[in-house]
């Protein structure tokens, strides 16, 4: 039973790593105003969708001691993902309306807000890993 629980949480953390990679790629594409931003955004959405499934499996597997920490982490990842979605949508709309990339003030604001959301998500990930280590070390 403990092995199955551990494996579900390990799968979730692997999913977090895949999500981080996809999120970083779309952030980089937006920050560098690259033409592959749309494809990067698609991969980001796929990674987040897969992460949602892994979160459900980890929560279902238990143990209860990790539920709050797991939910906290996923809440921060959701907010980070939504911030990236907002940036992508704003950049896409700006290009459609003007034919150019977003101006530097708005661009800097999105870069800053995404970095802040990532930092909060990373702190939540560290708390989750610490808690999981304590729970599974028993």
Q: Three-class SS of residue 99?
A: coil
**Count of domains observed in the chain:** 1
Question: What is the token pair recorded at 103?
Answer: 């101006």
CATH of the domain at 126: 1.20.1440
The length of the chain, given as a count of residues = 138
Burial 3-41 (b: 16+ CB within 10 A, else e): eebeebbeebeebbebbbebbebbbebbbeeeeebeebb
Spacing of C-alpha 42 from chain mean position: 13
Output the tens digit of pLDDT for each of the chain's 138 residues.
Answer: 568 888 999 999 999 999 999 999 999 999 999 989 999 999 999 999 999 999 999 999 888 899 999 999 999 999 999 999 999 999 999 999 998 888 889 899 999 999 999 999 999 999 999 999 999 886
Range of the domain at 114: 2-137
Question: What is the token pair recorded at 101?
Answer: 């990339």
């Amino acid at each position: 039973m403990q092995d199955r629980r551990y494996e579900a949480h390990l799968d979730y953390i692997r999913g977090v790593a895949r999500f981080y990679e996809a999120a970083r790629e779309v952030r980089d594409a937006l920050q560098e105003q690259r033409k592959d931003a749309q494809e990067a955004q698609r991969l980001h959405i796929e990674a987040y969708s897969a992460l949602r499934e892994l979160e459900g499996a980890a929560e279902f597997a238990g143990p209860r001691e990790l539920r709050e920490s797991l939910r906290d982490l996923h809440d921060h990842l959701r907010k980070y993902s939504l911030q990236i979605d907002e940036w992508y949508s704003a950049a896409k709309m700006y290009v459609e309306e003007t034919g150019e990339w977003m101006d530097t003030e708005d661009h800097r604001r999105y870069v800053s807000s995404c970095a802040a959301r990532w930092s909060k998500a990373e702190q939540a990930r560290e708390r989750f890993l610490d808690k999981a280590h304590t729970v599974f070390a028993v």
